[in-house]
Structures are given as C-alpha cells and as structure tokens.
Amino acid sequence: MQKKLMTTSIALLLFLGVFAYSGPKLVPEVHSVTSPISSVYVTPVRSCCILPSSPSTQVVVNVMMNLTAGQIINGFDIRLNYSNYWTPTQSIPGVLQANAGLGFNFANNVFSGRDPISSAACIDDIVVISNAICGTDDAVIGQVHLAQTIIGTPLSGPLQNQFLFSVTFNVKGIGSSLFIVERAHLLNPGDNGPDSSPQFVQDVTGAAIFGNTPVVAFFDYSPQNPPSVLAGDTATIDASASFESTPSGLVELTQPRYSWNFGDGTPNVTGSSPVVQHRFLFRGNYTVQIAVSDGSTGQTDSFKRVIPVLPVLGGLEVIVRTVEGGTVGAVVVVQVHNFSLPNASVCANCTGTINAGGTVVFRGLSPGLYNLTLTGPTVKPNSKQAMVYAGWTQQSWVYMTQLTIPPPDTTGLEVFAIVTVAGVALVGTVMVLQKRKRKRMRGNGPGASAKSSGGKKPRFSRR
C-alpha cells in the first residue's frame, strides 16, 4: 500500500512538474489518430451547420482515448486548442467561444467510480473546478486543459473509444474552427517495485473541425512510423472529412477537387483523391495548405495547418529521486552510453548534471538501448538501462541512496583556537607589563616632578 501511495504521489508530482515546465516539450507534436498505438482524439471529427442565429447555438466536442494492450494508466493531462476563437474585444469576429460557465463534463468518463482528482481544470485561463489550477504555460484564450489522476489500481489496456471529457462551445460567427490535441499525456505509473518508472504512454492524436460555411475544407495526417512524422518518412494526408454545410445539415461533397501545397518547395498536387502521401526530406515545421472545391455548387474553401517533421532521433529525460521518493539535494552527474551501436562510446553532450528540479534531458540521441550511470559526492552510485525511440522523449526514473556524511573533524581547529586565544592573552599580558615599565621609567626621568622626590628639590651634581 505504501508503494502504491508513493507511485501515486510521484504521478501527481509529475503532473505538477508538467504544469510548471517551460522548456521543450516532452512528447511529439500533434499528429493523426490513424495508428496502432495508443491515441487521444476528438469527436465528432466534423460538426457543422449551426449559425449564430440558430435556435441552438452550442456545439459539444468530446475528447476520447484508445489504450493499447500492455499499457496501464492512472492519470491523463490533456490540452485541447481551438482556433478562430471569439472574444468581445476582438476586432476580427471569431467563430467559437468556449463556455466556461458550463465547465467540463467528465461524468461517466474512463475514471468513473474511482473518485478522480482534478489537478488542472482550465478553460481559456479560467479555473472551473475548486482546488484545481491553470498551468503556468496555459494559453490565455483558445485552449482548454483538464488533468485527472486516480489512486489505487490503474486501468489496463486494451481500451477502445473511452470517454475522457467534453466541452461546450458557443457559436458566435461564420467560418470554421480547428480542434487540435496540443498535449496528450497518458500516465503509466509503472509497477510498485523499488525501481518504479512512471512514463508518458506513446500515443498519437486526432484533430476535428467545426464549420458553417458552404464548403468546409479539412485534413488530418498519419506518420509512417508512429508516434511522429520523421524526416525522410512518408506521411499520409487525408482530406476525406471535408464537407458541405447546408441549412438541412452536413452533406458530402459532390465531385470534389483537391489542390495541395506541402510548404516544402515541392510542386503542388491537384486531383480528385482526398488522400495523398508525401515525403518531407528534412526536419522542420511545414505549413501544408489545401484548397477544396465542390463540383456541383462551385463553392470552394481552403484550410492549412502545420505538420512538424522531427529528426530520426530521440530524447531521454532522466528524473532522479531518493529511494524514499524525495528530491536529491545534491549534485548528481549522469552519463548515457548507447549499447545498440557498434563500438559505442559516451557521445558528446551526453554527460549532464541534475538541476534543482531533479531532472536532466538528453536530446539528439540515436534510437536504441542506453546505459545510464549516475554518480555524485553524497549519493551511492547507480546505473540503469533505458530505451530511446525516434521522435519521442522517454522518461527514466532513477532512485538513489543518499550517503550520511560524517561531521567534519574540527579537532585541529579547536587546538588552533585554544592556541590562538592563549597567544592573544599572552600578548595582552606582555603589552600591559611593557606599558607599566614605560610608566615607571617616565616617573624616574629628568622630567619628574618635585612631588615624586618627596617634596624636595632635586640635586644636581657638578663635575
């Protein structure tokens, strides 16, 4: 039971650490749900047709989860971004406004009946649940953020189409609004052993769109090697969810045409197929744009979003704690060594010092098995192995024994102090005696007064 509580506490600390984290992201950028690994995605993928003048001006979106076999979770931390947001002071009219008054709906979600703890509950930078927070890096507007954890036995995969939460949006204008899962942390707490290592589950994400224009263009994409689109790999880009918005509801496009600009300098691609495959040769953030036209109405729409392409490298975040689960209050040096490469050696920039938060991150590592060696003047040396995956930053927790440092030997200092005090006293005594002697000498000298000679005038001898 104590180990379970410690693991849960570590999970909560990990979430709180994420809220305060302002450095590089620990998981890959958003990407499509089409993948055999775990996923966090939005439903419905497309919603439409509601106008600001409609009898009902609200649209509800759900955040869902698939968990693969072999994975366990006891928490999630999800941030959902929405574009073309509406504010009363915005000069350009927006489309949607998140309804903070209604808050989150997570009744009957995947943690139902387990008394989940909501550590973050934020809609457009407004806390909507008591005792929860907004993350330090949460967006002021255009973002909703919910994080929950449970205590006790974690949930086990495989799990399909599991509900996490929903949010209601008010329709304020004409246009479209894209929903992207900007953060998709599913927390695997690890086992209850002495070397438990909580991890973020590798996952992909799925986007969605709301639109109320005659034609609504949209695409999502899938990596060839999940969880990320990697340089040199082929990404599948799918615009088949584009649609017509009519007063009677959503209608599929008739004889549509698609024109693609991949943002990397390659020629545009035009055709009738909504699905294309494209290879991005180099790492970078590519703004991909599509123009969609409907053959029956002649109506068109355009849509663009960024596809991040990562190098064929990975990262490793080393988190160090004491065996009791506390922070190590000492310097710890970490070295990583790749066992998967021939003649592997400790690479450049693969030695790091644990910071005040107890973590150090290594980036640009070739995928493979790594050995971690940890040393420090006040900790017992330790080592551990960890896998590095392309396009992903893996967490590795290491628990270290702090050594009891004996108090310094002050015997020499004490002797020095005694000698110093004695010396000072001796010097003081000598100075007093010398002062008295000088005084007596002045009293017997030629300048002595008559009083010092018993009231008689002094006698002077003649020679």
Q: 22-67, pLDDT tens digit by residue?
A: 333 334 444 443 446 999 999 999 999 999 999 889 999 999 999 9
pLDDT tens-digit series, residues 81-120: 999 999 887 777 899 999 999 999 999 999 999 999 999 9
Kind plus residue range of the DSSP H or E element containing 436: helix 411-443
Maximum average pLDDT range among 19-28, 249-258, 314-323: 249-258
Cα separation, 292 vs 304, whole angstroms:
11
DSSP reduced 3-state for 4: helix
Cα separation, 463 vs 446, whole angstroms:
18
Report pLDDT for 409.
55
Task: Assess contact for 22 and 200: CB atoms under 8 A.
Answer: no
Cα separation, 161 vs 168, whole angstroms:
20
How does the average pLDDT of the chain come out, rounded?
A: 82
pLDDT tens-digit series, residues 137-185: 999 999 999 999 999 999 999 999 999 999 999 999 999 999 999 999 9
Report pLDDT for 338.
83
Q: What letter represents residue 68's amino acid? A: T
193 and 60, same domain (yes or no): yes
Provide the number of structural domains found in the chain.
2
Give every CB contact of residue 299 below 8 A, 6+ residues apart in sequence.
Answer: 214, 215, 244, 293
Query: Residue 319's domain spans which residues?
Result: 314-400
Report pLDDT for 349.
59
301 and 361, same domain (yes or no): no
Asked, for residue 187, whether it belongs to a domain, the answer is: yes
Q: Which long-range contacts (CB under 8 A, 24 or more apart) does 326-330 make?
A: 327/357, 327/358, 328/354, 328/358, 328/376, 328/379, 328/400, 328/402, 329/402, 330/376, 330/377, 330/378, 330/379, 330/402
Q: Is the pLDDT of residue 76 over 90?
A: yes
Burial of 442 (0-12, 13-18, 19+ CB in 10 A): exposed
- What CATH number corresponds to the domain at position 341? 2.60.40.1120
Mean pLDDT of 278-291: 97
222 and 342, same domain (yes or no): no
Query: Taking Cα atoms as reference points, which of 120, 24, 20, 119 lies closest to residue 356?
Result: 20
Asked, for residue 420, whether it belongs to a domain, the answer is: no
Query: Taking Cα atoms as reference points, which of 160, 251, 264 lies closest to residue 211?
Result: 251
Asked, for residue 436, whether it belongs to a domain, the answer is: no
Mean pLDDT of 283-295: 97
Query: Taking Cα atoms as reference points, which of 179, 251, 240, 257 lies closest to residue 213?
Result: 251
DSSP reduced 3-state for 401: coil
Joined together, the tokens standing for residue 199 give 């991890």
170 and 48, same domain (yes or no): yes
Among the ranges given (124-138, 153-167, 344-358), the one the predictor scored with the smallest mean pLDDT? 344-358
150 and 180, same domain (yes or no): yes
301 and 339, same domain (yes or no): no
Q: Is the pLDDT of residue 73 over 90?
A: yes
Cα separation, 185 vs 169, whole angstroms:
23
Report pLDDT for 405.
61
Domain ends where: 377, 400, 423?
400
296 and 202, same domain (yes or no): yes
Mean pLDDT of 211-236: 95
232 and 325, same domain (yes or no): no
Report pLDDT for 346.
47
Backbone angles phi, psi at 107, to 5 degrees: -60, 135
Q: Is the pLDDT of residue 16 over 70?
A: no
More confident residue, 205 or 436: 205
Task: Assess contact for 149 and 75: CB atoms under 8 A.
Answer: yes
304 and 320, same domain (yes or no): no
Going edge to edge, which strands form the sheet with 314-322?
A: 359-365, 314-322, 393-400
Cα separation, 84 vs 31, whole angstroms:
20
Domain ends where: 246, 280, 309?
309
| CB count in 10 Å sphere of residue 8 | 20
Domain ends where: 309, 337, 368?
309
Give every CB contact of residue 274 below 8 A, 6+ residues apart in sequence.
Answer: 219, 238, 239, 240, 242, 256, 258
Confidence grade of residue 324 (pLDDT, cut at 50, 70, 90): confident
Report pLDDT for 262.
98
pLDDT tens-digit series, residues 390-449: 999 999 999 999 887 655 555 555 544 443 444 444 344 444 445 554 545 555 544 444
99 and 203, same domain (yes or no): yes
Asked, for residue 113, whether it belongs to a domain, the answer is: yes
pTM score of the predicted model: 0.78
Residue percentage of the chain with pLDDT more than 90? 60
Joined together, the tokens standing for residue 59 give 């649209």
More confident residue, 12 or 202: 202
Cα separation, 45 vs 62, whole angstroms:
10
Joined together, the tokens standing for residue 179 give 């929903």
46 and 104, same domain (yes or no): yes
374 and 227, same domain (yes or no): no
| Helices (H) then strands (E): counts for the chain | 2, 33
Q: Is the pLDDT of residue 354 over 90?
A: no
Task: Assess contact for 176 and 303: CB atoms under 8 A.
Answer: yes
Q: Is the pLDDT of residue 330 over 90?
A: no
Confidence grade of residue 355 (pLDDT, cut at 50, 70, 90): confident
Give every CB contact of residue 222 below 8 A, 6+ residues apart in sequence.
Answer: 31, 32, 33, 34, 35, 204, 235, 236, 238
Report pLDDT for 434.
52
Query: Taking Cα atoms as reference points, which of 215, 222, 220, 219 lies closest to residue 255?
Result: 215
